[in-house]
Amino acid sequence: MNSSNPSSLEDYTKIIMGISTSINLVMGLPTNVYVLWLIVSGASGTMALEFFALNLAVSEMLFCSSNVLHLVNIYVPSLNIYSFVAFSSGLLTLGRPLFQTCICLERYLAVVHPVVFLRYKPLRYRLGCCVVLWAVIITSCCISMLYGKNQRFLFRIYLAEYLFFLSINLFFGLSVLRALKQPKPGEGGGVEKERDRGSDIKMKAFKIILLILVSMMIYYLPWIVLVTASELSKDIVLGDAGIVCFSITVVTGFVQPLLYLHRTGRLPCIRGL
């Protein structure tokens, strides 16, 4: 009886991983393609203002496409393509939170430091920033490929990354909320309208940061709890539990594009933020 348990557990984890990967491929790829088309075509605003969202969509599309390799690795392990799978996982573990944080940073600067935001508003600055970010992401992919078999080492890196990104986005959200609670005083009709417009911009920025922060907590909180618990107690095994946590992160690949479509008013019967 005991000898059958490991096999049964392995079968369950394969099923969970297979389902989450399939959902990400079927739902994540078309929604991210749609977001990319909206940004490139200019249907949702200027490309400069949505450049980080565009790069996030590209990163998600690349990972969604690589899910074909994930499925092959799950059900045909004899092909030995785990290195390619581990490489592509870097797009998920770093690419997604990195570009989400850049979106939050942009909103934070627009509200709290508008002079700095206007100074670096041109597309060339965002383009240069994204070149550096993609270099960091590719480096992360290479690290994932080289140390793919050392789960504990990788999970510690993920824990540090996720805690950092959650903390900094929480700071952005609280800073924008504080700015929202302290509107600039003014008198007169024109000034009142301008103040109301500024408050609307702040509220929109706060909602965007809040949605991203909540979605990141859904993605990464299981990782944080698991790895922290495993560090505190060596009796906790990361293997199968880590696969479940990774599956949660994978299956939610369509959440960010849906939030973007919601924000831009592209979802039926739902007003944008």
In the chain, the domains with their CATH numbers are: 4-263 (1.20.1070.10)
Express as a percent the part of the chain with pLDDT over 90: 27
Does residue 66 sit in helix, strand or coil? Answer: helix
Res 194: pLDDT: 57
Report which listed range, 183-187, 204-208, 218-222, is most confident: 204-208
Q: What is the DSSP string of 208-259?
A: HHHHHHHHHHHHHHHHHHHHHHHHH-TTS--HHHHHHHHHHHHHGGGHHHHH
pLDDT the model gives residue 36:
92
Helices (H) and strands (E) in the chain, counts: 11, 0
Least confident of 4-13, 152-161, 240-249: 4-13
Between 230 and 195, where is the model more confident? 230
Average pLDDT over residues 23-32: 89
Q: Which of 9-23, 126-140, 174-188, 248-262 ranks highest by mean pLDDT?
A: 126-140
How many other CB atoms are found less than 10 A from the CB of residue 82?
A: 15
Q: Taking residues 93-108, what's their average pLDDT?
A: 92
What's the pLDDT at 10?
Answer: 65
Mean pLDDT of the chain: 81
Region of poorest pLDDT, from 22-26, 33-37, 189-193: 189-193
Average pLDDT over residues 212-226: 84
pLDDT above 70 as % of the chain:
83
Q: pTM of the predicted model, to two decimals?
A: 0.85
Q: Which residues contact 158 (CB under 8 A, 6 or more apart)?
A: 93, 220, 223, 227
Q: Which of 71-75, 77-81, 200-204, 224-228 has the lowest mean pLDDT?
A: 77-81
pLDDT, one tens digit per residue, over 142-173 is 988 888 777 778 778 888 888 899 999 999 99
Q: Could you tell me which of 221, 216, 16 has the C-alpha nearest to residue 103?
A: 216
State the Cα–Cα distance between residues 38 and 99, nearest whole angstrom. Answer: 18
pLDDT of residue 236 exceeding 60: no
Average pLDDT over residues 36-64: 87
Tokens 């849906």 belong to which residue?
258
pLDDT digits (tens, 9 = 90+) for 28-47: 899 999 999 999 888 766 78
* pLDDT, position 198: 66
Q: Quick one: pLDDT at residue 4? A: 44
175: which 2 tokens?
């800073």
What pLDDT shows up at residue 167? 92
pLDDT of residue 264: 79
Question: What does the chain come to in residues?
Answer: 273
- Across the range 63-78, mean pLDDT stands at 84
**Higher per-residue pLDDT: 18 or 78:** 18
